[in-house]
Structure formats: structure tokens, C-alpha cells
Chains A and B, each alone.
Chain A
């Protein structure tokens, strides 16, 4: 069948797609533009969510509620959690880096469904603005990011409904993105490229997208039922009308536990890309890494009730979910030791990307250990809903995912912008972030073990000093953003020219110009069958080879 449409002959592309900076504000279908849109939009929301975290830590400087009213604290707390999860980490580790890198990694010129991709991104800014503006219009939701009924039914309805609407939009965006990633990885691979030759980030995104497609719709259905309870006064989750609040918790955590893996599996993948390049060694244990990811996907779907050990969970359920959760430590531990083995004996260049990656490994292990502890019922019933949990999940989502986001920005900025970031500022950024983060969250373990409940604006005066230490850490984290912001803005204009492949990396995105052209490669996409074929002396690597596999072979 021949296409004889007029667009074919007319120069359709330039008229449809702006080419200057304006394309970043347009309905562009270029996966690299969409990736950057996700990244910048997500970072803007990170700054907003970070300001809210600052407000929370300021309030907690003193045991009484003096910085803001209690209901304002509840709103800020809810918005902070929702913004950071749904508008910063999920869109950035999935949407931003996924869109930018996955087509390169599979040797494609774009995602499988470019228009769906643009739709998925453009659902995010309106949803985020709607969520945040609810604070100024009627008061935002007050029931935390979990929106547990009956709290979410009894707190002011308007803010809660706006919260539900925006989370539904963001969930839709997430599902569209997930479908796109699955189709791109499974269907759009360059001929000759086998699944087990893909860079690890593809596997991470495949696993993540399966979780997104399977679990996010359940959250959507649950939130629709919750909104019926609020608006139409049905009684699904209203005990006063014969409803059952625990059913909400089950359905909510069926999404929201996998959501942890949706936030952290892509980070695993990104670290697996960054470490081999800067250690000049192949990724250790590729096959076990792949199976670990898939094991985490399967196990991640059947552990949700470990969030509900204090919700009257029957003993058999406690037993099952404790054991299943403990099992997740096995594939996660395999990945952890594989990263260590990748670092072991490598010629590590300790730049900002590696520093942040190593920071991730340290923080994630700490968060993982407290996670295994929290899965044990006898321990969990004592620290449930205390600051111990707050410390635990910040070690996972901040110490894990956000550290990796920064590592990835240091690693891929030269590719995206074409200029290098300043290393001194990068190391300062790492130092401030790492010290600030641990200063902020490590003391919260102690607070939780001693019984300080989470989500509350006021606390027992005995906790004042430790809270102030924690707030000092938060201040350091806020300050750490400044050198980073200056770095990414100034380097875009004054940074050293990066060249095509400043890290001498072998993965396909480096085998094109920086920034890459529209459609990623001039000429055919390279066939990279050994993305981690490092270990050859630098002067023996022929950077002018046509493809990554040539690099690998000539290296031997």
C-alpha cells in the first residue's frame, strides 16, 4: 500500500513541530523533547514540594503549633507527599529518563506511540496546578497522601475531590506512559537486538511499566469509589453506613506498594547504567540483575498488606505478607551486591554521578534494612505510624530515587545539553545533599522508636532537640539545591563543550551527537549487543567505529 497523502511531499515536520526552545512548550512528539519536558516540569514540582517540606520542618522546630495552623499543616503535609510522589519522582524516573533513553536503547527513532506520549506528559502540568491551586481556593486535602477513609470522608470535601481528580489524571498519564514503554521495549527493538542484550534500564522500565499497567487502574477504581462516598454519600468505605474501611486500605496499597517499586526500580536501572561507565567495568551479573527485577515485580504485587499490620489483619495474612516481604530482600540484595561487584576493582572516576550513585547504594541499604525490620509484625506494631516509618521511606524515595535522579542528571547532562557540568559544584552539591539528608532523616529513626507519631503538627516536648537537628538537616538539603540550580543553568551557557561521548560510554545514546539530532541518528541506528563491554585501555577504543558492537570487538 502506498501512502499518497499531501503531507508526504510537503515539508510536514517543520511546520508541525517548532524547532527552537519553543518546542519545549509545545505538543511535541519527539521523545527527547518530551523527556526534557518531564524532567523540567518534575523539577519545578520538586522545588514546590521541597518548599512544603521546609514549611513542615520549620513547624516542627517547636513542639507547639506556632508556624502554621493545624489544618494548614495537614494540607501542606498532604500536598508535600502527593507532589513529591506523583509529580516529581514517578514522572522523572519513569517519564523523563525513560522517554529520553529507552528509544536509544532499543535502537528506535521514537517511542511506539509518540502522540500518546505527548498526551501523557501534558496531563501532568494541569493536574499538578489543579492540585496546588486547591490550597489557595478552598483549602487542599487534609488526609495525607494515603487519603484513608473515614478521615478523607470527614475532612472538607472540595479539597479532597480536587485531590482525587488530579491523582486520577496523573494515574492516567502514568498508565499511558507504561503502555508506551512496554510496546517500545517489546515491539520497537532494532532487528538483531535481543532482549538479553538490552541495557539494564530497559529491563527496569519493562518491569516498572508492567507494575504501572497492573496496579494503577486499581487505585483509579478505588478513588472513584471514594469520590462516590464523598459526593453521592454512598457507603463503600463509611463504617456508619455498613461500609468497610479496610477494603480501601487493601485496594489502596495494592497500588501504593508497587508504587514504591515504580519509584525505585527505574532508579536501579539508571544506577546500573551509570556505574559501569565510570568504573570501566562490565555490569556484574547481568542475568541475575534481570531476574531480580522480574522477581521484584512479581513479589511487589503480593506484599501490600504489610502496610496494614495494625488494621486488624488476621494472623494468616500477617504471616503470609511478612514472609513475602522478607523474600523481596533477596533479589534486592542480589542487585546491591552486583553493584558492589561492579565497583570492585574498577578504575573508578569519583565524579558527581558516581558520588551520587554510591550515596544511593549506602542510603538504599539503610532504607532496605529498616524495610525488612518493618515487615516483621512484632516490630511493626510498635513503630507503625511513627517517625520510624517516615525515616524508612525517605531513605528509600529520597536517599534512593532522588539521589539517582541527581546522579543521572550529572551523567546525561552532557548528552542532553552538549556541555559539561561543573565538577566542583557537583561535588559540593553531593556533600551538602548527603550530609543534609542523613542529618535530617537518621534522627527520625530515634524519634519513631521513642514513640513520636507521624503526620501531626505538635509533639511531646522531649523530642524538641532531635527535631531541631532534623530540621537543620532539612535546611542543608534546601541549601544544596542552590549550587545544583546554578550549575545546570550556568553550564548550559558556559560549560565546557562535551563532545559526543565524554564518558567514553558504550550504550547507544552516546554513539550520536550531543545533543542528538531529531530521530536520534544520522543514518541507521547502531546495533549495540554488548552495552557494558568495558575493560579495554582507553587508547584502544575506537570512538569512530560505526557501532557499539564494533567498539566491543575492536577492544578485544
Chain B
């Protein structure tokens, strides 16, 4: 038995219409998020397709530098993969009503996300080319930048969830764990995109 705040009630779509018909719908929010992530994946697919086509048909202009070092992005890949696991641990602990541990794992996940972003910035500043230097440079920054934007948003979401589950009766709790699960699905998605991006940009 949990008493929800009015805001939570609004999230559940129950007060949209007259109260007499306000029977609770089944929760389809996760389905909607998944559909949105399919759309988001298609945006990335467009970028990837553009990059691969450029690579196949457009030769690098004479004198242009486009060399990528592997160590830092490999570290980034490990950071994100580990963060997916830590996020999963946070969800498990929330469902066990162990909010303290959940928050610990969330903070660790957010820390890994921030470490990823910092490491990405270090890479940006040490690369021998800039945004407008050549076609590959532009595509590299567009792809990693768009992905970095996703990581930034994801980290913000984690911090919001972290704040909202500070007490067992908070807005995010064992009985209302949708926000955490939504952020988790999104985070796994962003990780998955990074793995594809890592293969296409750095390894191919």
C-alpha cells in the first residue's frame, strides 16, 4: 500500500478523464519507450550508413589526416559496458527495497558515465584533426558527438532517479520502479550503440 503523490498519479494517466471511468490502464510506457528507441536507432543507422558510404566511395583528400588511436576508446567501451552491469545491479536492489545499495550502484553508474564523457573530451582535445578538417573528421565528430549527447542525457536521468529514490517511499521505489527501468533500458541502448560505433569508427 503506497500513497502516491499527485504527480505520480498524473504519470499513470488515470486522471485524464472523468473519475468514474478512471480505471487503471495496463502500463504501456515501456512499450512506448522501446518504440522510441527503435526510432532513435534509425537516426544512428542513418549516420552509420552515411559514414560507411563515404568510406566506400569518397577517397580521403590529399594531405588530410584521419588517424584514430585505440587505447582511449577501448577504455571507453569498457567503462560503458561495466556501467550497464552496475545499472542492472541498481535495479535489482531497488526491487529488493534496498534503496541505499541501489543509490550506491546508481552513483557508480553515473560516475562511469561521467568518466566516459571526460575520457571522450580528452580524446577530442588530443586528436590531430578538427570538426571541419575533412569528411571523415566531420562524420567522426558528428557520430561520437551525437552519441555523447545521449550519454549526457542518460547520466542526467540516472542522477534524477538517484535523487528520487532516496527514501523507500520516494517517487522512485520498489512499487514504482518504472523511471529506473526506463532509464536502464535507455542506458543499455546507448551502450549498444557505442559498441556498434566503436566497431565501425575505430576497428573497420
Seen from chain A, the residues whose Cβ lies within 8 Å of a Cβ on chain B are 1-9, 11-13, 16-17, 29-30, 109-110, 112-116, 175, 178-180, 182-183, 186-188, 213-218, 220-222, 224-225, 228, 232-236, 241-244, 247, 250-251, 254, 518-519
Could you list some 6 contacts between A and B, CB below 8 A? Answer: A2-B1, A5-B6, A112-B31, A180-B32, A221-B44, A250-B49
Contact status A13-B28, CB under 8 Å: no
- Which residues of B, 19-46, contact A by the 8 Å Cβ criterion? 19, 21-22, 24-26, 28-29, 31-32, 35-36, 38-46
Nearest-neighbour CB distance to chain A for B156, whole angstroms, equals 20
Contact status A7-B35, CB under 8 Å: no
Contact status A3-B12, CB under 8 Å: yes
A266 vs B15: C-alpha distance when bound (angstroms): 31
Residue of A nearest to B36 (CB): A179
Q: Contacts A179-B35, A243-B135 known; A109 to B17 CB distance under 8 Å? A: yes
Q: Contacts A218-B42, A225-B142 known; A235 to B132 CB distance under 8 Å? A: yes
Residue of B nearest to A182 (CB): B35
Q: Of B8, B41, B49, which is in contact with the most chain A CB atoms at under 10 Å from its CB?
A: B49
> Does B92 sit at the interface, judged by CB under 8 A?
no
Residue of B nearest to A234 (CB): B138
Q: Contacts A5-B4, A13-B19 known; A183 to B132 CB distance under 8 Å? A: no
> Does B70 sit at the interface, judged by CB under 8 A?
no
Seen from chain B, the residues whose Cβ lies within 8 Å of a Cβ on chain A are 1-6, 8-10, 12-19, 21-22, 24-26, 28-29, 31-32, 35-36, 38-47, 49-50, 53-54, 57-58, 60-61, 64, 131-132, 134-135, 138-139, 142, 146, 175
A472 vs B114: C-alpha distance when bound (angstroms): 64
Provide the residues of chain A in CB contact with B50, threshold 8 Å: 222, 225, 236, 247, 251
Provide the residues of chain B in CB contact with A9, threshold 8 Å: 19
Contact status B142-A244, CB under 8 Å: no
Q: Of B46, B47, B134, which is in contact with the most chain A CB atoms at under 10 Å from its CB?
A: B46
Provide the residues of chain A in CB contact with B15, threshold 8 Å: 5, 7-8, 12-13, 16
Q: Contacts A4-B4, A251-B50 known; A187 to B28 CB distance under 8 Å? A: yes
Contact status B28-A241, CB under 8 Å: no
Contact status A221-B46, CB under 8 Å: yes
Nearest-neighbour CB distance to chain B for A382, whole angstroms, equals 27
Contact status B132-A232, CB under 8 Å: yes
A250 vs B38: C-alpha distance when bound (angstroms): 20
Residue of A nearest to B61 (CB): A242
